[in-house]
Chains A and B, each alone.
Chain A
Amino acid sequence: MIRLKSRATLVASAIAVAALTASTSLVAVSSANAALPSWCGPKKITMGFTDGFGGNSWRLVTTAAVREEVKLCPNVTKLYYADGQGKTDKSISDIKGMVAKGVKALVVFPDAGQAMLPALRSAYKAGVVTVPYRVAPGGTAGKDYDIFVGSDFVLAGKLWGEWIKKNLPNGGNILRISGPAGNSQGADESKGLAMVLGNDPKYKFIGADPFEVTGWDPGKTQEVLTAAIAKYPKIDVITSDFGPSMVSALQAAVASGWKVPAIATSDGNVLGCFYQDNKATQADFKMMTISTQNDHSRLAVQWAVALATGGKKPSDKAYPSTLFEDSVSGKPSAVQCRKDLPGDVYLSAKMSGDAQAKLKTN
Chain B
Amino acid sequence: MTISRREMIQATAAAAGALALPSSKSGAPVPPLPPVPPKFFTPAEFALVDELSDMIIPTDQQSAGARAAGVAAYIDGRLAESFEPEPPQRWRAGIQAVEALSREMSGTTFMESTPAQRLALLTRIAAAESDPKTDAEKFFKEIKGGTIRAYYTSKIGIHDDQQYKGNVIQPGEYAGYDAT
Is this pair of chains taken from one and the same complex? no
B interface vs A, CB < 8 Å? none
A interface vs B, CB < 8 Å? none
